[in-house]
Every structure is written in structure tokens, then in C-alpha cells.
């Protein structure tokens, strides 16, 4: 089971901030306020140390070497797999496939499981709030196979219309691929219900865990999802590493993804025997350093405890929501009852881009634009939003700075 840290009434956020070197820098002569955590989180010193330590102490290629450095690097790399297994409560370490990130995990499933199981006339269900990385791989597969992409609509608050989902499900549905928590709205989707219903219809379910993995406790066995894809860099870890979890029997039944070293047992010109899980899906030299440092990020998260993080982040979310709602002309996009700690909003007659530039002049980093969710922006008939997303190291004072910055920007722009 997931290790639980002691539940604390209040986090010492200032002590946590000390662990993130970048947070002490200034931008445009102002203290950095980093509210772009949904795009990528900052990295604690332990992660930077793990990276440096690998390169200075035991840089070597993994798995095949018999020398000390290779053995140390292999042990550290495989230790991350064990930590990931615990982090999401997978049944076995062979169910943990290292990828480049969430995007690659989804593409892997589309190109292997999808190509093997989806045929002309079959249906794939996604939703109106998906990130492009959970739309395009399925679109490509549908184009190739003559399959049909079905989309679960959302209501005005940015919640999935579950009754519509039930109507879309049928014996033609092969896979339901759904975002666990939306990067553009913050909505936490009722994935257990979705998984249950999809399984009853005979479909498998992939969860895009890019945003949920840092905020929510993930227990893939309890969820009973068939695939779960997420990225290290949104969980305080390095870029370039991610995880695809898959149920063992599915991973075993799937054809290989990329060919090369590591994913084979034997190669002859007339016959190739592929490797066992998880290596079957890990062709070539992986991102060793970042994978090793990813463990440090997960240890950091486990040490503080997701529940403690969540409590702090939810407090920030509540505070920011109340403050933002008082700004005339500001509209929050995404008012689901269950949300992760991010807020998207638009302001009358002000382009998000202009707002982003003015906030940056005050050292405040927010994200503006379509957040890789163009169909969602089309649903709301807007070109984009401004998004502030909160992490464990953010403070209420920083939210006050954002509010002041917004008030100034509105005065200048309107």
C-alpha cells in the first residue's frame, strides 16, 4: 500500500521552500512567484543532488555491465521502478514501464494495444476536456483503422456528463481513455465509475494521470484501471521520464513498441525473441540519470505525504478562488465540485497573453493560452485562459501578489 506520512495540521511551507533553490531567485527584480506547476513543477535539492551524484559518482550504462559502476547504476535505476510500484500500488514491478512521459505512454498503448485490438467500425471514447496528448494518438489510430472517436461532453462547470457517457458506451467501445484530473479546468473525474461502466461494456480504460499523480493518492489496483500514464516532471522530478502502468496480462499480450537493444532476448536475422516485461517495452539506453533522480522526487513527495500536500494546496485553491471571484469581469473556467489545485480564468476584454506578460513583469509565472486543450477552449468559445496552478511550496502571500498584479494589469489594459 501507499506509505503514509504523519498527517500534519499545517505544513511548514517556508521550510519546504528552502529545499527548492529556484524559488529564491528574482524575475524582473521581483521575487519569483511560480504558479505554472501544472506545466512542470520545480525540483527540490534532493532531486538535483541525485542527478549530480549519478554523473559524478557512477555514470554507466545499465543492465549489461558487470563492472561496479554499471551495477550501481542498474541498482539505482531499478530502485526507482520499485518506488514507482509502491507510489501507484501496482501489483508487480514488471507492470511499470519507463517512458519519456505521459505522452509517450499514451502513444505506446495506442500503437501497440490499439493497433492489435481496434478495427474498422470500433469506437474509442475520450472526453471534451482531454489534453492533446490524449486526443491525437487516438485520432491517428482511428484514421489508420477506420475506427470512430467518440467524445464525452461536459457541462458548464467543466464536469463530465456521465449520463451521456453511459449512452456512448456499447459493445463497439474498445477503449476509454480519460484524463484523471484536467490540466485546463482542474476537474477531478469520477474515474472509478467510468472504469466500472467501461469494464461492464467490455472496454479497457487508460487514465491520463499527468495531473492527478502529484495531487491524488493513486492506487491502480483499487481503481482497477488497465493503463495509467504519468510524467516525472509534474511530480517534482526531472523532465524526460515517465511511467506507463499496465495490467500484466495486457502488457504481455501486446506487441512490442520500438525495436532495439534491451527489449530483446535473442536476435537472429530470421528470428527474434523479445524480452520479458518490463524490458520488452524499453528499447535502447533509457534516461538513466533522470529516472534515478525521479526516485528522489517520489521519496520527497512520500516524506511530506500527499494528504498533507493536498490539504495545503486545497487551502490555496479555496483562498485564490475567493479572491479571484471578487475581481469584476473575471470568470473562472472550471467550477467542478472536485478539483485539483489550479484555476483557469478569463477577464472581460483582456487577452490572456497580455495578462501573462504584465504578470511576468512582476515576477509572477502563470500559463496562458489553450493549455493543449483546443477542443475544450472551443467548447467555451474562448481562445484561451490564464491559469494559476499551485504546488506544495506556494503561499497565500504569493496569491496576494497575483491578485495585486491582476488588479494593476486590468487597470492598464482596460
Ligand X SMILES: Cc1ncc(COP(=O)(O)O)c(C=O)c1O
Which residues of the chain form contacts with ligand X (CB under 6 A)? 39, 101-103, 131, 133-134, 179, 183, 208, 210-211, 231
The active-site residue out of 142, 225, 372, 381 is: 372
Report the distance separating Cα 33 and Cα 360, nearest Å: 9
- d(C-alpha 87, C-alpha 305), whole Å: 11
Q: Smallest gap, in angstroms, from Cβ of residue 266 to ligand X?
A: 33
* Cβ contact 124:142 at 8 Å: yes
- Please state the closest distance from residue 273 (CB atom) to ligand X, in A: 31
DSSP string, 162-219: HHHHHHH--TTEEEEEEESB-TTT-BBP-HHHHHHHHHHTT-EEEEE-TTHHHHS---
Smallest separation (angstroms) from ligand X to the CB of 367: 9
The nearer residue to ligand X, 207 or 358, going by C-beta atoms, is 207
Closest CA to 101 of 220, 257, 250, 209: 209
Short-list 133, 126, 139, 156, CA closest to 379: 156
**CB-wise, 118 or 179, nearer to ligand X?**
179
Shortest approach of ligand X to residue 372 CB, angstroms? Answer: 6
How remote is the C-alpha of 172 from its chain's centroid?
28
**Would you say 212 or 401 has its CB closer to ligand X?**
212
Minimum Å gap between C-beta 43 and ligand X is 14
Q: Which of residues 215 and 362 has its CB atom nearest to ligand X in the complex?
A: 215
Residue closer to ligand X by CB (options 309, 350) is 309
Under DSSP, is residue 238 helix (H, G, I), strand (E, B) or coil? Answer: coil
**All cell numbers assigned to 7:** 498527517
3-state secondary structure of 229: strand
Handedness of CA 160, 164, 166, 170 (dihedral sign): negative
* Closer to ligand X by Cβ: residue 183 or 385: 183
State the minimum distance, in angstroms, from the CB of residue 138 to ligand X: 13
Q: Per DSSP, what are the bridge partners of residue 179?
A: 208
* Closest approach of ligand X to the CB of residue 342, in Å: 10
Q: 372 catalytic, yes or no?
A: yes
Residue 212 and residue 68 in contact, taking contact as beta carbons nearer than 8 Å: no
Q: Minimum Å distance from CB 192 to ligand X?
A: 18
Q: Are 203 and 175 in contact (CB under 8 A)?
A: yes
- The answer to whether the beta carbons of residues 72 and 401 sit under 8 Å apart is no
- Taking the least distance from each CB to ligand X, the nearer of 94 and 208 is 208
**Pick 384 or 405: Cβ nearer ligand X:** 384
C-alpha cell at 11: 505544513
The angle subtended at Cα 355 by Cα 402 and Cα 30, nearest 5°, is 45
Shortest CA distance to 177 belongs to which of 131, 218, 232, 144? 131
Strand 123-127 and strand 26-27: the pairing is unpaired
Q: Cα–Cα distance between 281 and 311 in angstroms, integer?
A: 37
Residue 371: which of 335, 334, 336, 399 has the closest Cα? 334
Q: Is residue 122 a contact partner of residue 144, using CB atoms and an 8 Å limit?
A: no
Q: Give me the active site residues, please.
A: 372
Amino acid at each position: 500500500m501507499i506509505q503514509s506520512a504523519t498527517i500534519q495540521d499545517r505544513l511548514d511551507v517556508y521550510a519546504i521552500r528552502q529545499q527548492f533553490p529556484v524559488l529564491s531567485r528574482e524575475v524582473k527584480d521581483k521575487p519569483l512567484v511560480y504558479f505554472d506547476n501544472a506545466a512542470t513543477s520545480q525540483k527540490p535539492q534532493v532531486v538535483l543532488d541525485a542527478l549530480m551524484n549519478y554523473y559524478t559518482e557512477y555514470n554507466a550504462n545499465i543492465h549489461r555491465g558487470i563492472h561496479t559502476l554499471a551495477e550501481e547504476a542498474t541498482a539505482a535505476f531499478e530502485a526507482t521502478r520499485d518506488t514507482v510500484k509502491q507510489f501507484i500500488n501496482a501489483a508487480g514491478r514488471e507492470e511499470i514501464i519507463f517512458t519519456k512521459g505521459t505522452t509517450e505512454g499514451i502513444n505506446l498503448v495506442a500503437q501497440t494495444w490499439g493497433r492489435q485490438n481496434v478495427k474498422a467500425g470500433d469506437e474509442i471514447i475520450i472526453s471534451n476536456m482531454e489534453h492533446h496528448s490524449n486526443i491525437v494518438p487516438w485520432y491517428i489510430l482511428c484514421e489508420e483503422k477506420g475506427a470512430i472517436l467518440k467524445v464525452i461532453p461536459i457541462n458548464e462547470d467543466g464536469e463530465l456528463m456521465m449520463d451521456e457517457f453511459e449512452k456512448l458506451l456499447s459493445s463497439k467501445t474498445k477503449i476509454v481513455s480519460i484524463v484523471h484530473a484536467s490540466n485546463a479546468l482542474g476537474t477531478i473525474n469520477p474515474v472509478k465509475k467510468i472504469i466500472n461502466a467501461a469494464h461492464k461494456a467490455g472496454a479497457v480504460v487508460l487514465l491520463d494521470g499527468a495531473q492527478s499523480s502529484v495531487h491524488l493518492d493513486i492506487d491502480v489496483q483499487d481503481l482497477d484501471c488497465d493503463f495509467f500514464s504519468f510524467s516525472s516532471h509534474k511530480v517534482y522530478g526531472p523532465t524526460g521520464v515517465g511511467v506507463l502502468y499496465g495490467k500484466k496480462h495486457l502488457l504481455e499480450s501486446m506487441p512490442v513498441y520500438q525495436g532495439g537493444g534491451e527489449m530483446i532476448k535473442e536476435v537472429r536475422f530470421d528470428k527474434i525473441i523479445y524480452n520479458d516485461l518490463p524490458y520488452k517495452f524499453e528499447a535502447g539506453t533509457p534516461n538513466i540519470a533522470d529516472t534515478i533522480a525521479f526516485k528522489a522526487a517520489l521519496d520527497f513527495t512520500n516524506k511530506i505525504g500527499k494528504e498533507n500536500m493536498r490539504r495545503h494546496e486545497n487551502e490555496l485553491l479555496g483562498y485564490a478562488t475567493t479572491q479571484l471571484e471578487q475581481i469584476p469581469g473575471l470568470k473562472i473556467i472550471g467550477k467542478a465540485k472536485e478539483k485539483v489545485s489550479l484555476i483557469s480564468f478569463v477577464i472581460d476584454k483582456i487577452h490572456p497573453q497580455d495578462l501573462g506578460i504584465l504578470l511576468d513583469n512582476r515576477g509572477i509565472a502563470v500559463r496562458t493560452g489553450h493549455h493543449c486543450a483546443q477542443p475544450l477552449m472551443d467548447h467555451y468559445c474562448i481562445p484561451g485562459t490564464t491559469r494559476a496552478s499551485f504546488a506544495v511550496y506556494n503561499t497565500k502571500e504569493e496569491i496576494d501578489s497575483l491578485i495585486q498584479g491582476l488588479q494593476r494589469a486590468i487597470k492598464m489594459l482596460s
